[in-house]
Structure 1
Amino acid sequence: MATRLVYKRADGRWAWNLKADNGLIIATDGGQGYENEGDARTIADAVVGGAYRDAEKLVGR
């Protein structure tokens, strides 16, 4: 089972990542960080929970 981690960075901003069973990080907040823990938790839960599953799927060149 993957693990979602919400944590406070050294710069005081909150961040999150999703780690697969094999230890590899498979999703992050993209480095932007959040002002508070609640915002980081809310977006992490939305991503992990599939809130964006209907997003347009594009393939880069």
Structure 2
Amino acid sequence: MSYRQKQLVMQYAEINNVLDFRLKPELKEALNNIHKQLRKLDDDRERIYLEYSQKLA
């Protein structure tokens, strides 16, 4: 999971470094998709930690 998060953050940084978003409007959609994937990754991580902690108790 941490590898996937690093990969998404790198993609986000690459897109964010584009100087002029007006010339490439598809980048806004790409950033939104990356945000969605990061949120899903956080939700999955939270769910897995919760399941793991319940098994320990």
Q: What is the TM-score when the length of structure 2 is the normalising length?
A: 0.30
Q: What is the TM-score when the length of structure 1 is the normalising length?
A: 0.29
- Name the larger-Rg structure: 2
Instruction: Indicate the structure with greater helix content.
Output: 2
The higher relative CO (CA closer than 8 Å, separation ≥ 6) is in 2
